[in-house]
Structure 1
């Protein structure tokens, strides 16, 4: 929902600040006052093209900013994917257009690509103006609109999953069928490498263990000599069987006994206990050293170990640097060989799986098609019913959901990324007129009212419970309308505003009277030749009596008592009807 729109230096607007109502907002003013600049500003922050020719004559740049409430809906998700966190549930989207023609897009204070503004605005704003209506003429937009109304998210997700699996299989088969000699050579290399690694059968960390064992064998004499001397010094009984040599352990035992023999007061018992503890640690050291005296292996063992270390080293040099890397490379190569295996048996196996995937995708496409067809009939009937109340008697909308058949132009035909359907919105503007594709059979005003009818029909389906309401902007929706039809048009815009934010640019008092807020665009010439060049446009909200006078001007062009009374009556009747 658009909470605030600020504009600087855009066309005749030097500065304007709008705070649209949460429901319906009317933008009014005399023809040529500059109402179109408001739409231009919104198109700029929606990622539209920049036009330096629209910068105010006395300005170096034009700047516009929209503040949107987004909640936790689609727009917030798009922003977060781009690394932008909404601030208190709001997005600040701005665009600067310089006189050189270059522009800069900013979202919440960060420079962003213009494409991101386009993606964000697609989830925030829908503009229905003469230049924007042509978008709905594209089959892709019509399909998206129908899916939004149909509420077929589950069927659509199931189909996308099935189709993606089918497309991935087709890519794999195509790769196998088109393999060249280099691919076959790569497969042979992988097989030979896998066989060589398996023949050696390396174990993770095995080379480090073998090198440690080799070091012990190669230094066995030094190890035995040093360990024996250490054991002799600590516990001579382990070496000197005659008992003539006394080790450190025995001496410490004697010292502890001597301390315990003292009968005088002192800390002698505690010191004796500490010596016992030291002696226990010495005993553990002696036990560990005695195990090191048993150095396994001889020259034959050493030769065998060196041979194994050499074999493992050959593997790590080619596929390392560690044995863990070698093992991981082999395991991956096993799967790579399968992809490179283009044998007839392998291709036949994949083709069987491909037929299964195609059948699954076709089943999902049919379920999606059925959901679309049901929604299409309901939507077309609802829209046609609305058109008769919008000065379009005899007009009708038909929506065709046609399943493709026949021989394919692609491997997946008749399926594509969006299903098995061709979708067409066909519009008949009056009874007896030819039925033509939407966008080719209606004037700008008729198309705007048709879009209003479509949005009304879709309103209950398009509400995002986790996000802020969508903002709909209508321009030229009142073209060729007057009298009772204008009242009905205003009523329907107000009805849409019950579930969405609606901003309408209008010249009809019967439409503006339904709005919750009204802004007037006025133009004034410069006060003197020394002032800023050109006409200056102002945008102001009108309330109470000021709004009554604006409605009176729209009704009769004057502010006579009769027109003022008529304006009050119109505002009161619209307000009562809305309540």
Structure 2
């Protein structure tokens, strides 16, 4: 409640104190008596625009202060949030306008910003006139006033949440429909890539095995000649390795009977002979396996070319290509579920549309009843004034 308003050197007022009492207080007088100046001074306290032209002629500054009795909890909470100390229910708001110095504002003696004055004052005073602060005459305030009166704020919040979800789902649906062409193209591409990779029937270790076989085929003649020569030295030529080792063993064997300490060396000689003999047999088998096949070499080259083509497209090696295949398979599965997702969104939208409609109807009915009641109450208050 506004209890007192003090005005000093503001407009045409030199020094004025106006006291207010509970109930209706009426300021009357002829045009030019200063009624609007009092309202302008009060507006200044509420954070209104300060103009040095409002300073009384010949004075350096104008001062307006107001004493309020504050008991409303919301206002007290705002003051607490601003760090304003309230020893009791008394609040003094003061505003000073000067020509030279910076304009100043205070809340209970503490420096305050103009926006803070507006924040506090807006909770305590509502000026109904030809200017600002006309809550009832501002259409943007009507719905809030109606919902506060009819206690439909919770139903309004319920509608806001439901309608917000409906809009979100509608945007998702529009996005999916707009991307339909891109989705189909992507689905075709992924299907083709999977088919191409699967058609190659890749194995992780196949490439290395093919390269080894290709190298063997390319150098088959050289391998054959070199192993034949080695085989000749081991077994076939006069003075071959096996022949010489046989002679060595023949010389050593009797010596072990003379000196048992030579038994170990004799055994090693026999082992060397058998090892070389086994080597000879393995080389002979290997030579028989060497067969140059131009058709097989061409087959290998074609297969490696196919693998390299896939590597250029999908990965640095076969393992990377196979990993890429798994990745796009998962993406394709996601894309393939498009119709299911689309149907799910449409079903959800239908349910939300029904829900939003039900809430809207309930809210509208309550507002209509509240509007009738509020109209009667406002008219009654105006008649009493």
Normalised TM-score (structure 1): 0.34
Normalised TM-score (structure 2): 0.48
Higher relative contact order (CA 8 A, sep 6+): 1
User: Which structure features the higher share of strand residues?
Assistant: 1
